[in-house]
Amino acid sequence: MTEKQTRRDFVSDQEVRWCPGCGDYAILAAVQKCLADTGATPENSVFISGIGCSSRFPYYMKTYGFHSIHGRAPSIASGLKLSNPDLDVWVITGDGDALSIGGNHILHALRRNVDLNIILFNNKIYGLTKGQYSPTSSEGTKSPTTPFGSVDYPINPFSLALGSGATFFARAIDVDAKSLGPILQAAKAHKGTSLIEVTQNCPIFNDGVWDAVTNRKTATSNQLRLEEGKPLLFEGGQKGIRLGEGLTPEIVEVGEGKASESELLVHKADGSDAYHAMLASMAAPEFPQPLGILKQVARPSYDELALAQVDQVLKERGKGDLNALLSSGMTWTVGPDGRPE
Amino acid sequence: MESSTTGTSNPGNIGSPTPVTPANGTEVEKVVVRFAGDSGDGMQLTGNEFTKAAALAGNDISTFPDFPAEIRAPAGSIAGVSGFQLHFSSTDIHTPGDAPDVLIAMNPAALKANIGDLQLGGTLLINTGAFTKPNVAKAGYESNPLDDEAQLKNYEVHLVDINKLVNTALEETGLTSKEKGRCKNFFALGLMCWRYQRDAQPQIDNILAKFKKRPAVGEANVLAFKAGYNYGLTAEVFQATYKVKPASFEPGRYRNITGNEAVALGMVAAGQLAECPVVFSGYPITPASTVFHYLSNYKNYGVTTFQAEDEIAGIGAAIGASYGGAIGVTASSGPGIALKGEAIGLAQIVELPLVIISVQRGGPSTGLPTKTEQSDLYQSLFGRNGECPLPIIAAKTPTDAFYCAIEATRLATKYMTPVILLSDGYIANGAEPWKLPEVDDLEPFPVKHLKDAEGWMPYKRDEETLARSWVVPGTKGMAHRVGGLEKDFLTGNVSYDPENHERMCKIREDKIMGISKDYGDFDIEGEESGDVLIIGWGGTHGALRQAVGVLREDGKSVSHLQIRHMWPLNPKLGDLMKNFNKILVCELNMGQLLMVLRSEYLVDATGYNKMQGKPFTVAEICNAVTELV
């Protein structure tokens, strides 16, 4: 490619039909820009989605795309990756699609570490079916199916990822293109399953649900921007996170006469399980919401291992001869007289 | 039963309670032997080994393994009885036999569960060592059945304490008594090999090969086998030996094969004929799992396998693989196929090739996992939302399953559609001799992944087949989107246009119905007109064909058609049925094909149905026809 690619090179001819003000627009633009910036090609990029507002995403990408069925995109993507491992495969999903009806598939994709990039649009509500509460909705959420408030406990996507043995988990805000871009690029470069939770606003059914995190006025106190090798600082460096009693995170004031930076926890994406569990327990407004790459560790991807095994068998046994396979085991020959020889 | 109806003499079936003493090596035409014991007794292994011996001797064979769903039901219980029936013959046979001529009962439960099937006057070999008080009670007998002279006098009974004889034979091996007990099935095998004049050496070699990794166990089994063989020779337990001469086969190379292995080999062959890799993705389920097991071994034959987290992911990954340009395959049984329904619809609307192997078992719900049934035809035809027709092929025998797998793949890739290949538990586990095809004689059907964007549109169709092109991600200049939403008839973009939806439903229907253009002539046994046409499908083929043979020898005007293409049906079928006075549709269900034929052709067909988890007997079919006319 001689000319530098731009976002426009990945924009399809289909009219985008999300509601005005939907967070999905910003995510779409960020992904298109990521592909352009990383030298991706339309033919080698595939977007596979399930069902839900966000799952219309593939229609708007000038790449290969597959709008599949509710919750099942990770399984279709896994099969695609097995048959065509050179492709750059993205899964587009939402909190209902990935964590409710498709919970089993996301769990196993993460466990196997199939080389996929999964973007989880988390708006804590079912938008396409008109506003029912979702598995990430806070307790007490009032919705058409829970007019007196929901009584079930929400799932934390990062906890699920940790429990599933995920090798890459990041969290970003839909409209924060500056942070989302590098995270998408890191996810794309990561070998194995990358799960990116994007806090996404639904202006129709759940407007402002992420306000505690995303509100610009309170952003500095409610956002914890994770940087590799740097101490956990927020509020313009005036506050930080220290290891408290019983392996819990503790907010401390930082500065002269207060806690020193050396006492603070230092972010390592490949840190201990205990550290990751601590990050998972932190959520706004009690804590600043951790944003960035929360976890990244190296582990061979499933497709890599599965295909290496095929190669190994080929090496050991040679290319199979079908005639020999058909006649394997006990055979006998019947002669021209119709009797066994 | 078939030996009496065909009028041949069979000392294994003497037909009279009076013992007859035939000479040594008496020739008999065919014999049905059933081994029955506890599920831990190794009856399946014994049956398989005895089958190999019959095959090596050149007999025609047909087998029927019948085992419980529980891996180890309580020892000695009726629920835990496992059986293996082998029919071997010097003439052409199609079924494992209606009723055994010889029953080997390894314990009281096996006797109780099976004696009702044994021919009157048949040979009954009983392992008396297992008839302890507790075992007799576990089988539900009030008193020891060995004392029931009124019952036993109906059979030629041989009482042998196999437990004790094996224990003695293995005295020097140093095995524990539990381990020795596990060898007793080989004693029974040895005894039967002697009775039917099988060479001992190939059997001994087989046993040693089978237990290559545990030579001590192999040696012990050989000792038990020899003990049984020699016991026959010296103890004169049977008065005589019998010989079943080799059957006459077409010249060629043969092997035994079960339906599930044949399907697996068929998929490997299909991949090579299509010149396309095969990706199998599935989830374990009885009785389909062994298809998956076999394919997992063929990684150097262009096959990749994936054990998914559930049935839905199983088909999902297969669809993904097809989208990526491979032949996606999944296999399951009724409950799993039910879970796959939505995804089958997706494959149908995005028009990707896919092979779905459905090995039917007793239903509904979990039903009878290890028993055979044909009750998932409706599921195959109708088990999806929306107008969602797709081709359905039914294998009729274990060997036919090989060719059906190839045919299913050919249709899937030629017409860009999911195809359901129906098998059943009887075909899956039953074995028969297979004349090996020459791979070069199989017709290739290389698939084409379109790479030329000139004049192409995602849903533009081939004028003849109405199939769209298979464009695989990675192809430059042809990036496009597919999905489960209704699409424009050319561009494939989402379309809610009312006229377009009707047009798309019709064109998808036309594409599938057009497949019948590929069909050859009917394979009919008998004339193309007459009194009765027996119609069947799937694994009932053997029983129906054999019954028709018997009826025709009796001078009855009966023909038989086993339908292979269940959907779309052969357009000539309507005219064919008009040539007969009566149509009898025989199925192991409550009349599913019957309803389809009646609704498609307004034909006054009659059903003959059975829902017992067991195949038809030849006698049942003969009686049904006799009652009809």
Condensed to tens digits (0 to 9), the pLDDT of residues B174-193 reads 888 888 999 999 999 999 99
In the predicted structure, residue B294 carries a pLDDT above the cut 50: yes
Structure tokens at B402: 């090989």
The CATH fold of domain B524-628: Rossmann fold (3.40.50)
Q: Residue B558: how many CB atoms within 10 A of its CB?
A: 28
**What residues of chain A lie within 8 A of the CB of B277, using their CB?**
83
For A160, list phi and psi in degrees, rounded to 5: -60, -45
Mean of the pLDDT values across residues B48-73?
89
In the predicted structure, residue B7 carries a pLDDT above the cut 70: no
In the predicted structure, residue B571 carries a pLDDT above the cut 60: yes
Nearest to B321 among A74, A79, A313 (CB): A79
- Strand residues in B320-466 grouped as ranges (E): 327-332, 354-360, 392-394, 418-424, 431-435
For B134, list phi and psi in degrees, rounded to 5: -60, -40
State in words which class domain B255-441 has.
Answer: alpha beta
- Model confidence band, residue B235 (pLDDT cutoffs 50, 70, 90): confident
Q: To the nearest whole angstrom, how far is the Cα of A50 from the nearest Cα of chain B? A: 9
Q: To the nearest whole angstrom, how far is the Cα of B210 from the nearest Cα of chain A? A: 11
Q: Which of B244, B278, B279, B312 to mutate to test the interface with A (most CBs of A within 10 A)?
A: B312
Residues 92-131 (A) with a CB less than 8 A from some CB of B: 104-105, 107-108
Alpha-carbon distance of B398 to B286, in angstroms, equals 17
> Bridge partners of B422?
B358, B394
Alpha-carbon distance of A58 to A67, in angstroms, equals 7
Supply the pLDDT for residue B49. 93
- Give the whole-number percent of chain B exceeding pLDDT 90: 89
For CATH 3.40.50.970, list the domain ranges present in chain B.
255-441
Supply the pLDDT for residue B239. 73
Tens of pLDDT, residue by residue over A41-92, are 999 999 999 999 999 999 999 999 999 999 999 999 999 999 999 999 999 9
Alpha-carbon distance of B171 to B223, in angstroms, equals 10
For B169, list phi and psi in degrees, rounded to 5: -65, -30
Nearest alpha carbon to residue A108 among B315, B313, B289:
B313
Supply the pLDDT for residue B5. 31
**What residues of chain A lie within 8 A of the CB of B52, using their CB?**
330
In the predicted structure, residue B73 carries a pLDDT above the cut 90: no
Q: Do A76 and B256 touch (CB under 8 A)?
A: no
In the predicted structure, residue B2 carries a pLDDT above the cut 50: no
Nearest to A306 among B55, B304, B435 (CB): B304
Mean of the pLDDT values across residues B522-527?
94
Tens of pLDDT, residue by residue over A203-251, are 999 999 999 999 999 999 999 999 999 999 999 999 999 999 999 999 9
Supply the pLDDT for residue B390. 98
Supply the pLDDT for residue A2. 54
The CATH fold of domain B2-244: Pyruvate-ferredoxin Oxidoreductase; domain 3 (3.40.920)
Mean of the pLDDT values across residues B215-224?
94
In the predicted structure, residue B240 carries a pLDDT above the cut 90: no
The bridge status of strand A289-296 relative to strand A168-173 is antiparallel
Mean of the pLDDT values across residues A4-29?
95
In the predicted structure, residue B402 carries a pLDDT above the cut 60: yes
Supply the pLDDT for residue B12. 36
Nearest alpha carbon to residue B292 among B353, B333, B342:
B333
Tens of pLDDT, residue by residue over B98-110, are 999 999 999 999 9
**What residues of chain B lie within 8 A of the CB of A10, using their CB?**
none
Do the Cβ atoms of B107 and B78 come closer than 8 Å? no
Higher pLDDT, B39 or A189: A189
- Give the whole-number percent of chain A exceeding pLDDT 90: 94
Structure tokens at B359: 């090995």
Supply the pLDDT for residue B24. 76
Tens of pLDDT, residue by residue over B480-513, are 999 999 999 999 999 999 999 999 999 999 999 9
State in words which class domain A7-209 has.
Answer: alpha beta
Q: Do A75 and B316 touch (CB under 8 A)?
A: yes
In the predicted structure, residue B622 carries a pLDDT above the cut 90: yes
In the predicted structure, residue A263 carries a pLDDT above the cut 80: yes
**Tokens 């004790």, residue?**
B164
Alpha-carbon distance of B617 to B345, in angstroms, equals 37
Q: To the nearest whole angstrom, how far is the Cα of B532 from the nearest Cα of chain A? A: 34
Q: What is the mean pLDDT of chain A?
A: 96
Do the Cβ atoms of B479 and A44 come closer than 8 Å? no
Q: What count of CB pairs under 8 Å joins A to B?
A: 225
| A108 burial via Cβ count (<10 Å: 0-12, 13-18, 19+) | buried
Q: Is the dihedral of CA A298, A302, A304, A309 positive or negative?
A: positive
Is some CB atom of chain B closer than 8 A to the CB atom of A87? yes
**Tokens 């021209």, residue?**
A336
Query: What does the domain layout of chain A look like in residue ranges?
Result: 7-209
- Give the whole-number percent of chain A exceeding pLDDT 70: 99
Is some CB atom of chain B closer than 8 A to the CB atom of A65? yes
* Chain A CA closest to residue B484: A68
**What residues of chain A lie within 8 A of the CB of B476, using their CB?**
41, 43
Supply the pLDDT for residue A189. 98
**Tokens 């095969």, residue?**
B278
For B618, list phi and psi in degrees, rounded to 5: -60, -40
In the predicted structure, residue B11 carries a pLDDT above the cut 50: no
Is some CB atom of chain B closer than 8 A to the CB atom of A324? no
Quote the radius of gyration of chain B (alpha carbons, Å). Answer: 26
Tens of pLDDT, residue by residue over B316-350, are 999 999 999 999 999 999 999 999 999 999 999 99
Q: How far is CA B43 from CA A208, B65, B104, B108, in A?
A: 68, 9, 10, 15
Q: What is the mean pLDDT of chain B?
A: 93
Peptide bond into B100 cis (omega under 30): no
Q: Which of B56, B198, B301 to mutate to test the interface with A (most CBs of A within 10 A)?
A: B301
Q: Residue B501: how many CB atoms within 10 A of its CB?
A: 15
Q: Do B265 and A340 touch (CB under 8 A)?
A: no
Do the Cβ atoms of B418 and B407 come closer than 8 Å? no
- Model confidence band, residue B26 (pLDDT cutoffs 50, 70, 90): confident
Alpha-carbon distance of B564 to B546, in angstroms, equals 18
* Chain B CA closest to residue A306: B304
DSSP conformation class of B574: H
Do the Cβ atoms of B227 and B187 come closer than 8 Å? yes
Alpha-carbon distance of B292 to B297, in angstroms, equals 9
In the predicted structure, residue B10 carries a pLDDT above the cut 50: no
In the predicted structure, residue B4 carries a pLDDT above the cut 60: no
| B142 burial via Cβ count (<10 Å: 0-12, 13-18, 19+) | exposed
In this predicted structure, which of A128-142, A256-270, A305-319, B24-38 has the lowest mean pLDDT? Answer: B24-38
Tens of pLDDT, residue by residue over B128-163, are 999 999 999 999 999 999 999 999 999 999 999 999
Nearest to A325 among B52, B268, B479 (CB): B268
Supply the pLDDT for residue B435. 96
- Strand residues in B308-417 grouped as ranges (E): 327-332, 354-360, 392-394
In the predicted structure, residue B14 carries a pLDDT above the cut 70: no
* Chain A CA closest to residue B304: A310
Alpha-carbon distance of A286 to B165, in angstroms, equals 78
Q: Do A14 and B493 touch (CB under 8 A)?
A: yes
In this predicted structure, which of B17-31, B148-162, B246-260, B344-358 has the lowest mean pLDDT? Answer: B17-31
Supply the pLDDT for residue B23. 57
In the predicted structure, residue B352 carries a pLDDT above the cut 70: yes
- Model confidence band, residue B13 (pLDDT cutoffs 50, 70, 90): very low
Mean of the pLDDT values across residues B442-449?
97
